[in-house]
Structure 1
């Protein structure tokens, strides 16, 4: 059985005794130090799996010790004990590299959670010290992506809130998931939510849950996103879209590590790490009064910038190959390959939609190319060409107007469903006319066999 060791640094004997008793009951061997000088000596001799340090010490402060540990024993997670309500000090310690913090008077359940998380982190680092610690989500070999991978590994060790900035489609959620998977919470849930997709009147219930009967339609108790993420990570995507009233409640929940469900009278403690992201410029929104400054400082303890795809063109070939292999598996076809001309065209393109746009471009090209190779002309990048397989051009016999265009009903319509129905009818008629010979049906529709397979799968017609 592995014995864990923790170093307790505090100049008050009563506090040291309390922490020592609590950790000993958890089966942890403890070392104690009354000051920074003694702490450094013990850290060098024993290399403990955790260090707990008070902020105010006779020969310095806890942040100085955090910085020393980062330089000399970086594999030792360190947590800082701060004065009650002193969030500025807590945030400063997190920025210096502290794993987490706990406020005085120390609540023992909160302390146990922190200790268990730190020990899980130490074990994970010991197991992966000599291996590639990348789970394979952030693809690429460019300098930019290697730097990003290094940053996510470092941030995964901390419990500090991280703000992930970057353009739409650049992979901010992927980075958040990477931080979660490499940290001590990896066995807990990862809950991602798009803040702009929740109606404002439902936000409080969605985030914090509700009690049965608390409002019309509340037919049963609901946990909410915070409690669903308990023990894991909550990723707030497009956090800039939160209304001001919700920003106040979110700030309190993050600071107090507790939520109050709608209709309840008491708060429920939660143990989560909060990651957030947006493609908007949050500092500008703070200046405009659209986003609260106190919430900005709370979620932006550490900022991580995700580079746009145009800044790492050397990664495009690897990303494209991975995307095409995934598309081939999804549609049960052999993966297509890119010609050198196609790769060159992709590298020249600006990709305003980043990796998400690359995926869309390749999926379209995959369905339209005649052979198993995608050439530059199959990509249709930036030339506004409408493809022959566009649903507005695939019109079932007997469904067209005299001029060959599709009839559009009067009044409001759901355009996506309308075009999908036209496409479905055209495919059904072509399959019936060819006695369900897909090769012949594809020829009749003027599309490739692969394009037909893609459309059958997309429309759920298989």
Structure 2
């Protein structure tokens, strides 16, 4: 059956361009010029797969179309056309339920890409798809709600900001949003923004041309190009240097990148998902993170619950982890005795699901006769737990947060302290160095090291 696309634009030339381009893709089109005719077409025509609407119309707004479709025709994807510089309206449309947006003047290549992606939704079953390698296990209400939210978000192209504590499963959520959406056959490219040296960030994201700098012996595609057609997941996005944040914002808004050393822009079709364990709004308030980028990537926020907030899921998670260990090791999976299960359920897990995985794997190695006891878990005593809790910050205890990455963790703390000192002294470097007991030369070195100049 031929799929139908509804086109809504009051400018005849643009309406004709859209009509011709989409018709040549083998699709049936209905083209109208105002809200009234659009609503009439939606009520009379069955199985409209995609609605493409301008934001500003003679008798109303394209947002009315978006909201009408959300309430009455959820199976219809809706995308909006926005004039250059109307990013705020595009973001508002995404929040209202629009699938995606495209800027005027319309690029035929971008239009075709958007239409193809949107129409893939029409062929996907409306059910949650968790692969064997990526699962969101749990039966608590918060996890049930999260799975429903993932399914809804997977049908959109809106940027999603995933917040939650370290180890809570933010990347799992990002992978499931990708896997359940129309881009599931395209690449999912995760990148830890805090793990890239500041001098290499631009090259990693945008690529470089041969000879553009010392060591650039060949052309290299960046992460945006690698994720073209798919999803780019920016983990620990709060760690991006300020100068890179400006360039990232432009790439997201223009849907194009320019390799270092090249004058040619490369169109990219990438969905942006981002995450951090930090409070990004506080980073914006402290001017460590650009507000315009924050509002661009935080169109929709997803909160991943901590493990202690869904403690009743611990037995289910532990059982799954043990079964996976059994498969990987080629042995019968160990079991947890009652004392071990009680100990796990009463532990606070500042390191969340990642910490549970480490504890289970260690206990499976140490246990005897295939049964894990409370002593095999090596959990902190109640007094030790209390001490850890007293030292716990928003990101978890220092000990657990630094596990396996001590130098990077200490560097992150030092960077925050220096940034706070600069803020307190209104960016007076001499006073900031004096407050921290550093020589000015030492302070300048650290500013350069952490890209805070």
TM-score higher than 0.5: yes
CA distance in 2, matches of 1:169, 1:209: 30
Q: What is the match of residue 144 of structure 1?
A: 142
CA distance in 1, matches of 2:189, 2:282: 28
CA distance in 1, matches of 2:249, 2:11: 32
Q: CA deviation at 1:384?
A: 9.9
CA distance in 2, matches of 1:277, 1:156: 16
Q: Which secondary structure does the structure 2 equivalent of 1:318 belong to?
A: helix
Q: CA deviation at 1:3?
A: 1.3
2:128–2:180 contact (8 Å) kept in structure 1: no
Give the alignment of 1:334-373 within 5 angstroms: 334-373=332-371
1:259–1:267 contact (8 Å) kept in structure 2: yes
1:134–1:149 contact (8 Å) kept in structure 2: no
CA distance in 2, matches of 1:367, 1:82: 58
CA distance in 2, matches of 1:380, 1:42: 66
CA distance in 2, matches of 1:268, 1:57: 31
Does residue 1:308 correspond to 2:310, yes or no?
A: no
Q: What is the match of residue 52 of structure 1?
A: 52
What are the superposed Cα offsets for residues 55-78 of structure 1, whole Å, 9 maximum, x if unpaired? 122332111110111111111100
Does residue 1:62 correspond to 2:62, yes or no?
A: yes
Return closer, same or farther for 1:40/1:341 CA change in 2, 3 Å cut-off: farther
What are the superposed Cα offsets for residues 374-428 of structure 1, whole Å, 9 maximum, x if unpaired? 122221211399xxxxxxxxxxxxxxxxxxxxxxxxxxxxx9xxxxxxxxxxxxx
2:8–2:53 contact (8 Å) kept in structure 1: yes
What are the superposed Cα offsets for residues 155-209 of structure 1, whole Å, 9 maximum, x if unpaired? 1111111110000000001100000001111110000000010001111111111
1:47–1:73 contact (8 Å) kept in structure 2: no
2:128–2:151 contact (8 Å) kept in structure 1: no
Structure 1: gaps spanning 5 or more residues: 386-414, 416-462
Structure 2: gaps spanning 5 or more residues: 384-405, 407-453
How many matched pairs? 384
The TM-score, its normalising length taken from structure 2, stands at 0.82
Q: What is the match of residue 16 of structure 1?
A: 15
2:3–2:47 contact (8 Å) kept in structure 1: no
What are the superposed Cα offsets for residues 424-454 of structure 1, whole Å, 9 maximum, x if unpaired? xxxxxxxxxxxxxxxxxxxxxxxxxxxxxxx
Structure possessing the higher radius of gyration over alpha carbons: 1
CA distance in 1, matches of 2:263, 2:221: 15
Q: What is the match of residue 232 of structure 1?
A: 230
CA distance in 1, matches of 2:128, 2:53: 32
Does residue 1:211 correspond to 2:214, yes or no?
A: no
What are the superposed Cα offsets for residues 198-234 of structure 1, whole Å, 9 maximum, x if unpaired? 0011111111111111111111111011111111000
Does residue 1:288 correspond to 2:325, yes or no?
A: no
What are the superposed Cα offsets for residues 313-357 of structure 1, whole Å, 9 maximum, x if unpaired? 121111111111112222222111112332222111110000000
2:121–2:155 contact (8 Å) kept in structure 1: yes
2:128–2:147 contact (8 Å) kept in structure 1: no
CA distance in 1, matches of 2:42, 2:320: 45
In angstroms, what is the RMSD of aligned CA positions?
A: 2.0
1:162–1:304 contact (8 Å) kept in structure 2: yes
Q: CA deviation at 1:37?
A: 2.8
CA distance in 2, matches of 1:57, 1:259: 31
Q: Which secondary structure does the structure 2 equivalent of 1:151 belong to?
A: helix
CA distance in 2, matches of 1:134, 1:330: 20
Q: What is the match of residue 178 of structure 2?
A: 180
Give the alignment of 1:29-40 within 5 angstroms: 29-40=28-39
Does residue 1:108 correspond to 2:108, yes or no?
A: yes
CA distance in 1, matches of 2:242, 2:52: 36
1:205–1:224 contact (8 Å) kept in structure 2: yes
Does residue 1:326 correspond to 2:324, yes or no?
A: yes
The TM-score, its normalising length taken from structure 1, stands at 0.80
Give the alignment of 1:425-444 within 5 angstroms: none
4+ residue stretches of structure 1 with deviation over 3 A? 131-136
1:7–1:48 contact (8 Å) kept in structure 2: yes
CA distance in 2, matches of 1:11, 1:227: 35
Q: What is the match of residue 41 of structure 2?
A: 42
Q: CA deviation at 1:40?
A: 2.3
Q: CA deviation at 1:252?
A: 1.1
CA distance in 1, matches of 2:11, 2:217: 52
